[in-house]
Structure 1
């Protein structure tokens, strides 16, 4: 498997795209979040990913920097379905609030022919807390991260050899996630800024973590590989160097601070 980071930034970035990524298992693709607009389509193209091949999508929560790119995917899928240019079906997963919003947006923003594809070729699937699904041929467990801002789900995916990849969404780890996150071969966790710059970016006021926080967590949970994302963009030119330098003080595993469009093997 591999991961393509289409975007790595927080909601207000302008020097990179909002956080979203694609998991690849051969030709099977799993898109997680969509960023804040149709830049998602551009990012998929730049990554060499045909949007028509993205048949499974997960939306973590309703914030616009995660949700709005998905309506563009829905438009492209439904438009081509209605014109006979799209074979088979596609699936969008999310908790009940996300699915309700996507349904309402489709009815409001898409044409009648396109909206008619919702529930037919394009399945909007409500995922429950602790529910397991098979996605791209692998077991995926969805879980509520117990956000105090907006209801948000993360997920854990089984990997070859008994390992797992866990995505904690874009908020700090909550102890309710332990059974999913602990011992993960790969953990994806937000790191809004350097701990040394917390007074500048004020991550805790926004319910976010610093690099130090995320790395201490990964060390405590015995995580083998940690990917940091959902960051500020003021340090974008030397973000990798700065975040890695701080993170390595607190985490002994393999630390990844990826740029937009970067691809790594899992």
Structure 2
């Protein structure tokens, strides 16, 4: 992968930014991770100048609405492009076993048959299991179960062709059992529900999330040089980046990124 395009940075309740999802670019192709909670994914892709015709790989982490509902729109629009003959090749969807049925059911309940008729024909589901490895766009992905107690969820580590390693443990705090997948990473993409000082307001621990302080202490402990924080609240989004940087850099000495929607990170 060459670039990471941040399509959304907000948690499920965010209204001033889109739900957290992102795309990684390799050549002219894109690997999409989650699709957010609605048709905002289409606007996000349009703003980022990412053509649907160049998305042939999508990974869906889990079934929470702020990650999966945008898939209905992706399938509808790519199905439309397939019908018109403008979408070449297949759409590959990577997810755990239960999620396959959920995506299919949501789509069939809300989208006409002419759009989802390509299921298991040109819209192919690839079931990922714990420790599965798959080469996608020339880079090696290792998928892993994050051991969520809320909803079955998978993350991945990515060994890029150019030697860079990236780890994405989903939208919950890192567990020590995941160390083999995170160890030696150059980049960690980690959720940070809110500032530590605001923990009594947003109650991240009750929701199985972490704070900026927690995520930064973790990255410092694991000696990870580049940390990206997202999946946040959005109550003061105008000052979110400044405030999160200030708290985080008191605990982390690496490169700390608190992106806004549509920011681009280059590897």
Structure 1 length normalisation: TM-score?
0.97
Q: Deviations over 1:63-94 (max 9, x none)?
A: 00000011110111122223433221111111
Conservation of the 8 A alpha-carbon contact between 1:30 and 1:56: yes
SS of 1:166 mapped into structure 2: strand
Conservation of the 8 A alpha-carbon contact between 1:219 and 1:253: yes
Conservation of the 8 A alpha-carbon contact between 2:53 and 2:88: no
SS of 2:126 mapped into structure 1: strand
Conservation of the 8 A alpha-carbon contact between 1:183 and 1:224: no
Q: Deviations over 1:171-221 (max 9, x none)?
A: 010112111112210100000000011111110011100000000110111
1:74-85 to 2 correspondence within 5 Å? 74-85=75-86
Q: Report the counterpart of residue 62 of structure 2 in structure 1.
A: 61
Q: Report the counterpart of residue 102 of structure 1 in structure 2.
A: 103
- Gapped regions of structure 2 (runs ≥ 5): none
Q: Report the counterpart of residue 38 of structure 1 in structure 2.
A: 39
Q: Report the counterpart of residue 169 of structure 1 in structure 2.
A: 170
SS of 1:24 mapped into structure 2: strand
- Runs of 4+, deviation exceeding 4 Å: none
Q: For 1:219 and 1:183, how far apart are their aligned partners in 2?
A: 12
Conservation of the 8 A alpha-carbon contact between 1:34 and 1:66: yes
Offset of 1:161 from its aligned partner? 4.3
Q: For 2:221 and 2:213, how far apart are their aligned partners in 1?
A: 12
Q: For 1:168 and 1:140, how far apart are their aligned partners in 2?
A: 13
Q: Report the counterpart of residue 142 of structure 1 in structure 2.
A: 143
- Gapped regions of structure 1 (runs ≥ 5): none
Q: Deviations over 1:90-110 (max 9, x none)?
A: 111111121110122233333
Q: For 1:27 and 1:82, how far apart are their aligned partners in 2?
A: 22
Q: For 1:201 and 1:51, how far apart are their aligned partners in 2?
A: 36
Conservation of the 8 A alpha-carbon contact between 1:5 and 1:261: yes
Q: For 2:224 and 2:209, how far apart are their aligned partners in 1?
A: 20
Q: Report the counterpart of residue 219 of structure 2 in structure 1.
A: 218
Q: Deviations over 1:115-144 (max 9, x none)?
A: 220111111111111100111211001000
SS of 1:55 mapped into structure 2: strand
Q: Report the counterpart of residue 72 of structure 1 in structure 2.
A: 73
Conservation of the 8 A alpha-carbon contact between 2:58 and 2:92: yes
Q: Report the counterpart of residue 93 of structure 2 in structure 1.
A: 92
Conservation of the 8 A alpha-carbon contact between 1:78 and 1:118: no
Offset of 1:47 from its aligned partner? 0.5
Structure 2 length normalisation: TM-score?
0.97
Q: For 2:69 and 2:131, how far apart are their aligned partners in 1?
A: 25
Q: Report the counterpart of residue 114 of structure 1 in structure 2.
A: 115
SS of 1:154 mapped into structure 2: strand
Offset of 1:162 from its aligned partner? 2.9
Q: Report the counterpart of residue 19 of structure 2 in structure 1.
A: 18
Conservation of the 8 A alpha-carbon contact between 2:227 and 2:255: yes
Using a 3 Å threshold, how does the CA distance of structure 1 residues 106 and 217 change in structure 2: closer, same or farther? Answer: same
RMSD: 1.1
Structure 1 stretch 174-183 or stretch 147-156: which is displaced more? 174-183
